[in-house]
Chains A and B, each alone.
Chain A
Amino acid sequence: MQTVQAIVNGILVGGFYASMAMGFSIVWGVMNIIDLAHGSLIIIGAYVTYELCTHLGVDPFLTIPVAAVVLFALGYVLQRYLINRVLQASIFATLILTFGLDRVLVNANLRIFSADIRGITVPYTAAALTLGDLRIPLIRLAVFGVAILSTLALWLFLERTRLGIAIKATSFDPEAARLSGIDPARIYAVTFGIGAALAGIAGALVAAVSTFSPVIGDGLTTRAFVVVVLGGLGSVPGAIAGGILLGVTENLVASVIPSFSDAAAFALLIVFLVARPRGLFGRRFYAEI
């Protein structure tokens, strides 16, 4: 029974991991930017939700669209006026830029919000679906639902809308895209904005189920990185699969020896890097830059 509960917990937390990783994955896949500030963007999303909840007393799930819009705007501006400038340079230039950006965001957050640990406890914390001994807390189910829905929405957007198709076209061949009347600089800004909006959604979920402070962003970026490697770069279903694989592995190990859960997660990462570097759903086009 405990094993089944561990698998269920792993799937639930896996959806949450997927939402943290999706924005990171699309930015990396389309523009070849490993966005080291992704964790800090998630934290900003968490603060948006936290501030709205504490000042207006609304449910954290209602603040998700606001967090997404605020972060989209921030992401769009960052890419348009800052990151686009180094896009043609080597990967090291973008790494250094996003690392520096991360430091700026962490310290700005410390200045504005202080280092106090924050979190939101909803009134329905104890509510759960039970099936015999199996227990599924409602809030965890809701987080899983939001994560899966937002990831699916992104997938539909990329497959079905003109803008989505333009993003994919630009990622495959910016020159050809330009010839077809697409402005790559604008597409990149929109893409980073979408990545940041997804970070904002993940941040709202972090605020609802966990605790956060300005300095925990690095750990979130690391988790997002692992999920992307497991699931496959730039792949929407890959983020969900990678997140769930990571969540289930961690929880299965934690149900027996909790102190090994991290070691197991990173062992899994190494196995994938050696045996299947493309990840579960990685396609050749994305990673081949």
Chain B
Amino acid sequence: MLSRTRRFAALAVAAAASIALLSAQPGRAADTDNVIRFGASLALTGGLASEGTLVKDGYDWMVREINAHGGLTVAGKKYTVEIKYYDDGSDTPTAVRLTKKLLDEDHVNFLLGPYGSGATNATSAVAEQYKIPMVDAHGSANTIYAKGNKYIFGVLNPADQYATPMLQLAKEQKDPPKTIAFVREDTLFANIGIESAAKQAEALGMKVVYNEKYPSGTKDFSTIIAAIKAQKPDMVLAGGYQGDMIVITRQIREGGLGVKMLGFLLGPTVRGYVGTLGALAEGTLEPTQWNANMGWHDQWFNLSSEQFAAAFDKEYHYVPDYHAPQSAAALEVFYNAIRKANSLDPQKVRDTIASSTFESFYGPIKFSEGGINVGKSMACIQIQHVKTTGTNEQQYLPVPVWPAKLRGSAHVIYPLK
């Protein structure tokens, strides 16, 4: 028994020593084979797989774009870029494990973010621990950037800004909504988004008549809708998983809840929303990080937002919503920083990311102290012109309705029928 314990102890010591040796190994793969490797754990299966796949498309598009433009030259040496992916199955603890694996075993140079606030929050701790910068495109919870973590950067506007364009749009209407109801899934993103929205609504002089959360996995909202209906709100704003947002929209109609304005932190432009709801989707609002009409221009690849959308569509055969350009921009942050730093040293690249600003087709990028992009603001779209073609194919336009400069001559559907 004793000898077995001893043998185990010896083995453990040997294992620990070899792990220590491995992780102490300086220099990463790029030094030997002219490839800069990025690593990303993504939700390619599981509950967030549809979003995760959009993110991968954005990352992949940017890889091709960079390599098509001759890759990156660092200290006189030419490199191509490559991404090593792992599928975390939409599970946060798995994402953490795989992110460590990317650094320990695959020796990637830099990290790209996973999908979603929960996974980004958890994996950002790995980036901090290894002192390897991670640029994420889909971690919108403000808490991620408020922990003093020096190695996490998000290209997007954070959750507390999501509701702003919808509330501002509401205020600009003739006979604006006076009362508002909020309902949200009890998750990090929706909680931050809606709590901030409630404060903003009050500051704008609206009366908050209902504000409740529901547990994840709720399949029926009819009673919540009835409780909201009893308060007779002019406007409803909901936040949570996109499948829930579809059911909520439908049950608002089933329950006969008439509102002047209906908005979501996310949902209407995600694949499946209009396809499932058809005409019921008409007039719904969603904030957007990006829109092809925003008129941004990229300084490195000489591309406008519109040109990006066209080029992406040509390659992937779908019109990109904000997911793809936002993801592509995360990789471009590294492109910009590596070029300017002229180095692959993680610390130098991190410092350059933090201090340097640039213009991308996704919008201006400038990081705050905490690492969140403060260079751009959000806009808001309204689903309009929903049409059924064929047996059950839905066509629609996400019309930018706020700010006014994006709207142009388009009109806002208000109040809803």
Q: A49 at the A/B interface (Cβ < 8 Å)?
A: no
* Neighbouring B residues of A254 by C-beta, 8 Å: 214, 223-224, 227
Contact, CB under 8 Å: A57 / B391: yes
Say whether A23 faces chain B, with CB atoms less than 8 Å apart: no
Contact of A210 among B46, B219, B224, B271 (CB under 8 A): B219
Task: Find the A residue at minimum CB distance from B254.
Answer: A137
A126 and B254 contacting across the interface, CB-CB below 8 Å: yes
B50: chain A residues at CB < 8 Å are 114-117, 213
Interface string of A250-282 (1 = CB under 8 A from B): 110011011101110000000000000000000
Interface positions, chain B 242-257, Cβ under 8 Å from A, are 242-244, 246-247, 250, 253-256
Residue in B227, B250, B256, B392 with the greatest tally of chain A CB atoms within 10 Å? B250
Q: Is B214 within 8 A of A261, CB to CB?
A: yes
Residue from B183, B256, B277, B278 within 8 A of A128 (CB atoms): B256
- Does residue A150 face the partner (Cβ distance < 8 Å to B)? no
Residues of A within 8 A of B374 (CB): none
Q: Please report which residues of chain B, range 139-197, place their CB below 8 angstroms from some CB of chain A when the two chains form the complex.
A: 183, 186
Chain B 254-295, CB-CB to A under 8 Å as 1, else 0, gives 111000000000000011100111101000000000000000
Given A56, A107, A215, A223, which contacts B47 in the complex, CB threshold below 8 Å? A215
Query: For window 1-54 of chain A, which residues contact chain B by CB distance below 8 Å?
Result: 1-2, 5-6, 9-10, 12-13, 53-54
B215/A56 in contact, CB under 8 A = no
Nearest CB on B from A89, distance (A): 29
Among A2, A13, A118, contact of B226 (Cβ-Cβ < 8 Å): A2
Q: Give chain B residues whose Cβ lies under 8 Å from the Cβ of A251.
A: 220, 222-223
Specify which of B46, B186, B222, B272 is in contact with A117 (CB 8 Å cutoff).
Answer: B272
- In whole angstroms, how far apart are the Cα atoms of A136 and B403 in the complex? 40
Complex CA gap A263/B214 in Å reads 11
B107 within 8 A of A: no
Interface flag for A168 (CB, 8 Å): no
Which residue of A2, A13, A120, A140 contacts B276 across the interface (Cβ within 8 Å)?
A120
**Other-chain residue from B215, B219, B227, B272 in contact with A259 (beta carbon distance below 8 A):** B215
List A contacts of B254 (CB < 8 A): 125-126, 128, 137, 139-140
Q: Which residue from A2, A213, A261 sits with its C-beta under 8 Å from B243?
A: A213
Interface string of A210-247 (1 = CB under 8 A from B): 11110110010001000000000000000000000001
- Asked if A284 CB lies within 8 Å of chain B CBs, one says no
Residues of B within 8 A of A117 (CB): 50, 242-243, 246, 270-272, 276
Nearest opposing residue in chain A for B249, CB measure:
A121
Q: Please report which residues of chain B, range 377-399, place their CB below 8 angstroms from some CB of chain A when the two chains form the complex.
A: 391-392
Does A162 have its Cβ within 8 Å of any Cβ on chain B? no
State A66–B277 Cα separation when bound (angstroms): 24
Cα distance A115–B42 when bound, in Å? 14
Smallest CB–CB gap between B198 and chain A, Å? 15
Q: A128-B256, A259-B215 are in contact. Are A140 and B222 (CB under 8 A)?
A: yes
Contact of B222 among A13, A257, A262 (CB under 8 A): A13
Q: Does A152 interact with chain B (Cβ within 8 Å)?
A: no
- A232 to B45 CA separation, bound complex (whole angstroms): 35
Q: Are A121 and B215 in contact (CB under 8 A)?
A: no
Interface size on A, as a range, is 35 or more
Residues of B within 8 Å of A121, CB to CB, are 250, 276-278, 280
In angstroms, how far is the closest chain B Cβ from the Cβ of A143?
Answer: 11
Flag whether A186 is at the interface (Cβ < 8 A). no
Checking A10, A107, A219, A263 against B45 with a beta-carbon cut-off of 8 angstroms, the contacting residue is A107
Residues of the B chain whose Cβ atoms lie less than 8 Å from the Cβ of A210? 219-220, 247
Q: Determine if A215 and B212 form an interchain contact, defined as CB atoms under 8 angstroms apart.
A: no
Closest chain B residue to A55, Cβ basis: B391
**Contact partner, A2, options B90, B220, B230, B271, Cβ 8 Å:** B230
A residues in contact with B242, CB < 8 Å = 117
A135 contacts chain B at the CB level, 8 A cutoff:
yes
A223 to B186 Cα, complex, angstroms: 19
Q: Is the CB of B255 within 8 A of A135?
A: yes
Do the beta carbons of B392 and A125 come within 8 Å of each other? no
B25 within 8 A of A: no
Interfacial chain A residues near B391, Cβ < 8 Å: 54-57
Min distance, Cβ A172 to any Cβ of chain B, angstroms: 35
Query: Which chain B residue shows the least CB distance to A137?
Result: B254
Which of A10, A210, A258 has its CB near the most chain B CB atoms (within 10 A)? Answer: A258
Q: Is the CB of B255 within 8 A of A259?
A: no
**Complex contact B46–A5 (CB within 8 A):** no
* Residue ID in chain B nearest A56 by CB atoms: B391
In the complex, whether A104 has a CB less than 8 A from a CB of chain B is: no
Query: Is A164 interfacial (CB-CB < 8 Å)?
Result: no
Q: Which residues of A contact B218 (CB under 8 A)?
A: 258, 261-262
Q: Which of A13, A135, A211, A247 has the most CB of B within 10 A?
A: A211
User: In chain B, what residue has the closest Cβ to A260?
Assistant: B215
Q: Counting CB contacts under 8 A, is A176 at the interface?
A: no
Asked if A13 contacts B220 (CB within 8 A), the reply is yes
Q: List CB contacts (< 8 Å) of B71-94 with chain A.
A: 90
Closest chain B residue to A115, Cβ basis: B49
On whether the beta carbons of A125 and B49 are closer than 8 Å, the reply is no
Whether B348 sits at the interface, judged by CB under 8 Å, is no
Q: Which of A10, A215, A257 has the most CB of B within 10 A?
A: A215
**A140-B222, A215-B46 as given contacts; A125 in contact with B214, CB under 8 Å:** no
**With A and B bound together, what is the CA distance between A251 and B53 in angstroms?**
35
B182 CB to closest chain A CB, in angstroms? Answer: 12
> Which residue on B lies nearest to A212, using beta carbons?
B243
* A211–B218 alpha-carbon span in the complex (Å): 11
Residues of chain A within 8 A (CB-CB) of B46 are: 115, 215
Q: Does A110 contact B (CB under 8 A)?
A: yes
Nearest CB to that of B217 among chain A residues?
Answer: A219
A281 CA to B214 CA, complexed, in Å: 31
CB within 8 Å of B: which of A112-150? 114-121, 125-126, 128, 130, 135, 137, 139-140
* Residue B339 at the chain A interface, CB threshold 8 Å: no
Cross-chain contact B276 with A115 (CB below 8 angstroms): no
In the complex where A13-B222, A56-B391, A117-B246 touch, is A258 in contact with B276 (Cβ < 8 A)?
no
- Return the CB mask of A186-220 against B: 1 if under 8 Å, else 0: 00000000000000000000000011110110010
Distance (Å) between the CB of B362 and the closest chain A CB?
24
14 A-B residue pairs with CB within 8 Å: A2-B227, A12-B222, A55-B392, A115-B53, A117-B271, A118-B275, A119-B276, A125-B280, A135-B256, A140-B222, A210-B219, A223-B219, A250-B220, A258-B224
